[in-house]
Structure 1
């Protein structure tokens, strides 16, 4: 009897320890994506303890490479850092989409992320936090600027700004009727598109007050009125809108350029079920709005804009219609060789 009792106690203790260990979610994410108020609500609802490690794309991949995909239950690399890392290092595992409430996601964002993270028929990522770049416009002075190439209108000589970086090349390409992302797999075609864009940017040079390199510099150009329109990020446009109601972010007619930070499962996750519970929990519109308030960017949660701060809600809805959201051009991974093409074009424009 005694031996049986001791054995039973040992088994019970072992099972209890295993259960406790399972009720933990180790999250590898970006700062602001797992605010304490959201963690508290999740822990209260599920009993699962959340342990957060803040990181960035390079560190996430480095950590998971070093451990061969272990040490974390859920990670959040950007959309363009999923397939390449999986092909090279095999650090993720496919998602079981039946365990994710896909109805909570904005359909176009879900489709874009799944499409860009599918390998051998398996989906490795779903979207979470996103942001975009497009146009910041002073509508009192430049109300007719609706697309990237409108920055080159003769009326705005010396009054616009953009960066000499890839987003400018990509944005102008789309506004000129090209599809640069579709040409990523064809280097010759991409070169033709970039040559065309480069010539347009050289022709547009008289309109450029300066090529901005830092966000603060761009904001100050718009504040002072030295520029009336620019290519910039959505959050920057909304920041200026709080100071001057005439200035705001405008989603270009040919499509804003977007990035998405995703949810992926590390290959050796120990608590996959907790990971799915977290995804479904934070994609609820009211919870997602709390993450927007913390991170400063919107999520792919459908309808979450209705729950955010009233000012930000108004700005977001004024900048993005449903059609504008569906028209966002999401950055795919950049193939080898294209950066060299872009660099030469940008150098040529700068020296013109």
Structure 2
């Protein structure tokens, strides 16, 4: 009897200890944010401040759209608490693989977000009445021009003006097709769900790009190549991304990024909650933390891209802030054509057009 009485409380103590240990283990696990994101979007100093203020440990995995989709698809939406896919890579993936959960906007401080970008992201990530993305970092394609041709080249099709013959560069990629279509007075995004209409638009753009071939110094394929062409003056006007134009502007004030009259083409990387996130609370706390203007500005300084945080440009380093403001007033921001999700099959049509433009004499 004595031994039995001695063993009973010992076993009870062991069970209690195990339960307590399990509880602490769960708490420790809950206080971790597993973030899969792009380079520059989670700077070390921002992570350190978040960890200090919240007590939540941030584990950062650097990735890209394809890798994010692959990892989350393989686990059914597990392994990460917060992801940052581009807004046009969410709906199709969600419909096919169900790897995200709807955003609870009651937990998002939307007052810190640019209204036009919030609206664009909600529209682009809506599925069956739910929304799957919050805007985070954005950028555009537009025009990089030397001041000597700035009055001539104000829209994409001006790259075909005889005044800049032999001094032009752009990529043979879908942004060029889309940009030329808008500059020609058409709306390719509204035709996405009408294959015949989209083919008709592409046919007109194809003819224009073939006629324009004589103006093209070279079709650039890499960012370093394009920057070198612009630095040397071999190219005075190009279709390219805003961050590249701002980088060149810091080196040479005579080169600048211009938002085209028909609208810059915009992409937005989002915040999305994986379906099997284990710490949603930490995910929402991170979203609201980094979208504070002063914090968001540090992300811009690290990545070179601006964020959806309203007023964050006030805190960005002066040279980048001034270049941004010269490119984007409120009108230019509101005129950005944000990329919607691409329906299946359209990229094949676009590829065929680009191949024919490349092969044309």
Fold in common (TM above 0.5): yes
Question: What is residue 275 of structure 1 aligned with on the other side?
Answer: 283
Post-superposition offset of 1:104: 0.7
1:52-87 CA-partner distances (Å, limit 9, x unpaired): 111111111111111111111111111111111111
Question: What is residue 96 of structure 2 aligned with on the other side?
Answer: 88
Post-superposition offset of 1:229: 0.7
Post-superposition offset of 1:110: 0.8
Q: Which runs of 5+ in 2 are unaligned?
A: 1-7
RMSD: 1.7
Post-superposition offset of 1:339: 2.1
- 1:45 equivalent in alignment to 2:48: no
Q: How far, CA to CA, are the matches of 1:310 and 1:338 in structure 2?
A: 41
1:262-304 CA-partner distances (Å, limit 9, x unpaired): 1111101111111000000000010011111122211111111
Match of 1:259 among 254, 267, 272: 267
1:242-261 CA-partner distances (Å, limit 9, x unpaired): 22111110011111111111
Normalising by structure 1, we get a TM-score of 0.95
Normalising by structure 2, we get a TM-score of 0.93
Q: How far, CA to CA, are the matches of 2:118 and 2:172 in structure 1?
A: 31
- 1:120 equivalent in alignment to 2:128: yes
Post-superposition offset of 1:10: 5.0
Match of 1:244 among 229, 242, 252: 252
Please tell me whether the aligned partners of residues 142 and 228 of structure 1 are also in contact (alpha carbons under 8 angstroms).
no
Q: How far, CA to CA, are the matches of 2:139 and 2:273 in structure 1?
A: 22
Please tell me whether the aligned partners of residues 42 and 299 of structure 2 are also in contact (alpha carbons under 8 angstroms).
yes
Q: State the number of aligned residues.
A: 352
Match of 2:196 among 158, 178, 188: 188
Question: What is residue 326 of structure 2 aligned with on the other side?
Answer: 318
SS at 2:310's partner residue? coil
Question: What is residue 26 of structure 1 aligned with on the other side?
Answer: 34
Q: Which runs of 5+ in 1 are unaligned?
A: none
Match of 1:199 among 207, 217, 233: 207
Question: What is residue 65 of structure 2 aligned with on the other side?
Answer: 57
Post-superposition offset of 1:15: 2.9
1:178-214 CA-partner distances (Å, limit 9, x unpaired): 1101111111000110111111122222222222222
Question: What is residue 286 of structure 1 aligned with on the other side?
Answer: 294
SS at 2:263's partner residue? coil
Post-superposition offset of 1:346: 1.9
Q: How far, CA to CA, are the matches of 1:242 and 1:134 in structure 2?
A: 18
Pick which of 78-87 and 272-281 moved more. Answer: 78-87
Question: What is residue 332 of structure 1 aligned with on the other side?
Answer: 340
Pick which of 235-244 and 104-113 moved more. Answer: 235-244
**Which structure has the larger Rg over C-alpha atoms?**
2
Question: What is residue 17 of structure 1 aligned with on the other side?
Answer: 25
Q: How far, CA to CA, are the matches of 1:46 and 1:191 in structure 2?
A: 52
